[in-house]
């Protein structure tokens, strides 16, 4: 887990590692609002915070036009319709300002995506080697028994084993503990999460981690 001082330093760093920011948002929800306004907070992380972050983080994103609705994600309305309608009416004068802020944020996200593209190309270039390694492990694959997904969010064992979406990997680890062994076997799982899984002391997870080596 990221300690408090390191988290404070990271959320204030305009050049912070995006994966570290995701780890902080996942392990330290109280920093969600700070992560959300960091210029290195990428769109996928903002979407996750807009849906699963604490109230202060969601309100902070909403001020910039980032909401679960704007991202096309599910919305769980916890307020009465009357209150929602009243808030919508009060929000109307700020809509034009929010639209400008959203457009600026989208441009920043596009620039960050372009900067990250070399790393994506490098990953794609390495994928054939990953596929070859997987083809050489039929016995190990056969010995692995996929757990039964019991989480209410619809995450499946196949998703946990194969997804390349780092934010989805973090969500599965948090909201579908029965699939953590699958996450441990996924070659796309980022190092910080692998380290955290290794600290859980779960035999199935440890066996899955041993498969990676």
Task: Please give the Cα distance from 13 to 109 (Å, whole number).
Answer: 17
The pLDDT value given to residue 186: 95
The pLDDT value given to residue 81: 33
Cβ-count burial 183-194 (b if 16+ within 10 Å, e if not)? bbbbebbeebbe
The pLDDT value given to residue 149: 92
The pLDDT value given to residue 168: 93
Cβ count within 10 A of residue 44: 17
Residue 208 near residue 143, CB atoms below 8 Å: no
The pLDDT value given to residue 202: 92
- pLDDT < 50: residue spans in the chain: 74-89, 91-95, 139-142
Whether the pTM exceeds 0.95: the reply is: no
What are the strands, taking DSSP E only, across 34-172?
none
The pLDDT value given to residue 131: 64
The pLDDT value given to residue 106: 64
């Amino acid at each position: 887990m990221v300690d408090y001082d390191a988290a404070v330093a990271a959320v204030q760093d305009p050049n912070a590692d995006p994966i570290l920011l995701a780890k902080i948002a996942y392990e330290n929800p109280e920093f969600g609002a700070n992560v959300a306004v960091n210029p290195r907070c990428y769109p996928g992380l903002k979407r996750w915070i807009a849906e699963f972050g604490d109230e202060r983080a969601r309100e902070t994103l909403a001020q910039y036009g980032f909401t679960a609705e704007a991202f096309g994600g599910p919305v769980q309305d916890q307020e009465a319709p009357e209150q929602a309608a009243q808030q919508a009416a009060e929000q109307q004068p700020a809509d034009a300002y929010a639209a400008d802020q959203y457009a600026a944020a989208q441009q920043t996200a596009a620039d960050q995506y372009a900067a990250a593209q070399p790393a994506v190309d490098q990953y794609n270039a390495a994928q054939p080697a990953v596929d070859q390694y997987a083809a050489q492990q039929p016995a190990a694959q056969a010995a692995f028994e996929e757990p039964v997904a019991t989480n209410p969010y619809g995450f499946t064992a196949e998703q946990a084993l194969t997804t390349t979406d780092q934010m989805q990997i973090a969500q599965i680890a948090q909201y579908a503990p029965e699939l953590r062994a699958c996450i441990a076997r996924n070659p796309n799982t980022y190092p910080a999460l692998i380290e955290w899984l290794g600290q859980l002391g779960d035999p199935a997870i440890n066996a899955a981690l041993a498969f990676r080596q």
